[in-house]
Chain A
Amino acid sequence: MDRPSNPHDHDHEHQAVPSDFALRVKSLESLLVEKGLVDPAALDALIDTYEHKVGPRNGARIVARAWTDLAYRQRLLTDPDAAIAELGYGGMQGEHMVVVENTPKVHNLVVCTLCSCYPWAVLGLPPVWYKSAPYRSRAVIDPRGVLREFGLELPEDVEVRVWDSTAEIRYLVLPERPAGTERLSKEELAALVTRDAMVGVAKVAPAGKGAAA
C-alpha cells in the first residue's frame, strides 16, 4: 500500500483482470492509509475475525447446548444475552439478542426488510440471499412461498412467525432437534446445525441426511 498511484500491483493471483471495484477499493484504501485514517493491520484483523472466528459455528454450539441442557435452554430463551455470553459469544451486531424457538406447531423466520440486519455475533456475516431484494421483499408477505423455495413445505396447521429486524434486536432461531439424534454428542449435534436452520429457512436434517450451509 506504499504506492497508491499504481494500484496494479496486487491481487493478480485472484483475478486475471481486476474488476473496477478491486481498483476502486485499492485506491480508496491507499488514500485512507496515507492520510492516517485507517490502519491496514486493523482491516486485516477485522476481515480475519469474520472469515475465521465469528460465524455460524458459534450459533450451532449454542443450539447444541440448548438441545442437551434443559436449564441452559431456559436461560437462552429468557435471558439470551447472558446465556450466549456463557459460551463466550456476543458483541457487535448481537448486543441485544432474542432467541425464538421452533416447535412442531410454530416455525420462526428472520428477515430485515429495511436493510440487512443479521446476528453477526452468533451467525457471522449474512449470505447474499439474505441481503437480496427477493428475500427481503417476500419474507413478510409470503413466508410460506419463500420457505417452499428453500425446499421447506410447512403444513397449514403450523403457525409461521416472521421476525422483521427493524431495530437493534437480533434474532436467532432455535431449531427443533431432529429425531434419531439421542446418542449424539454435543459436538456431533452442533455439526448438524446449519446457518439456514438458525435463520429459519430450513430445518435441521437428521444425521447422515447431509444438509448444506
Chain B
Amino acid sequence: MNSVHDMGGMHGMGPIEYERNEPVFHAPWEARTFGLLGAMNCWGKWTLDALRHQIEKIPAADYLRMRYYEKWIAAMVELAVSSGLATRAEMESGIPAPGSPKLTPPLTAAMVSGMVSQGAPSTRNVPIAPRFKTGERVRARNINPIGHTRLPRYARGKVGAIQRDHGVHLFPDTNAHSLGEKPQHVYSVRFTARELWGDAASPRDAVYVDLWDDYLEPA
C-alpha cells in the first residue's frame, strides 16, 4: 500500500536526531512492549509480514506521530483481536471476559535463548529456477497494490542490474494476507543514484534493493 511508511526519497521529515549513549529501551513500558509482542508472536496466529502490514495500516498522520513501540502496541492489539486471542473489550478493559479459559503460553523463559539463536529463516528449500541471472538488466514493475508489498515506490518503473541472487524466500505480498508463501528468488538489484533520482545525483552512487521475482521484468 502507498502509505507514509514507504518513505524512501521523501523530503520534509526534518533533521536526524541523534542520542549519545542511547539505552536499549527508554522506559520500562518499551521493554515490556518488546517482550509482549515477541511472546504473542509465538502463538503463530500471524506472520512477520502480517505484523508489518498491520503497522503500515496505521493512518499516515498517526504513523508519523507515534513512537516506535506505540505502533507495536497498536498492531499487537489489532492482531490479537482479529486472530481471536482476545476480544476488543478485554484489550480495552484489561480484564478477561467472564468464563474465558486460562491458556498455556507457548513461550516460556527456558525457550527464549533457543528461539533467539535459531531465528525464523525466510528461505524455503524448494527447487525453483531463478528468472534472472547476475548482471542482467531488470525493471521493477509499476505496481500499486492496496495490500502489503516490499517493493518501495522509489524503485518502481526503474531499471537496475541483478547484483546477487539471495536464493528462494517466501513472498511477503501473499504471506502477509494468508494467501500462501509463494516462494521465489530474491535478488539484490543495483540501481544507480541517477536512475532513481535524476542527473543531480552523484554519478558514482547506487542503491541496492532486495527484490522478489514477482517484482521484476526484463529490461
Contact = CB atoms under 8 A, between A and B. Distances in A.
B36 A29 contact: yes
Interface residues of A, number: 87
Interface stretch (A42-50, A63-71, A177-185): A42-50
A166 B117 contact: no
A35 B100 contact: yes
Contacts of B17: 128-129, 132, 134
B127 interface: no
Nearest to B5: A114
A86 interface: no
B9 A42 contact: no
A129 B15 CA distance: 10
B147 interface: no
A95 B35 contact: no
B202 A156 contact: yes
B205 interface: yes
A114 B119 CA distance: 21
A143 B206 CA distance: 10
Contacts of A129: 16-19
Interface string B58-84: 000000100111100100110010000
B126 interface: no
A37 B197 contact: no
B153 to A, nearest CB: 9
B36 A35 contact: no
B10 A128 contact: no
Contacts of B69: 21
A169 B26 CA distance: 27
Nearest to A167: B210
A137 B101 CA distance: 45
A159 B193 CA distance: 11
Given A19-B29, A91-B118, A162-B206, A133 B13 contact: yes
B205 A137 contact: no
Given A22-B27, A35-B96, A91-B118, A213 B209 contact: no
Contact of B208 (A46, A91, A144, A163): A163
A129 B150 CA distance: 21
Contacts of B18: 129, 150
Contact of B86 (A32, A124, A143, A160): A32
B119 A161 contact: no
A96 B166 contact: yes
B95 A4 contact: yes
A105 to B, nearest CB: 9
A41 B116 contact: no
B44 interface: no
Contacts of B26: 128
Interface of B: 5-11, 13-22, 24-29, 31-36, 38-40, 43, 52, 55-56, 64, 67-70, 73, 76-77, 80, 85-86, 90-91, 93-96, 100-105, 107-109, 111-113, 115-123, 150-152, 154, 164, 166, 169, 186, 188, 193, 196-197, 202, 204-212
29 contacts: A4-B94, A15-B27, A21-B27, A25-B32, A28-B36, A31-B94, A37-B86, A41-B108, A43-B38, A44-B109, A46-B34, A46-B116, A47-B35, A92-B119, A92-B120, A140-B207, A141-B154, A144-B205, A156-B204, A160-B206, A162-B205, A162-B206, A164-B207, A164-B209, A166-B152, A167-B166, A167-B169, A213-B21, A213-B22
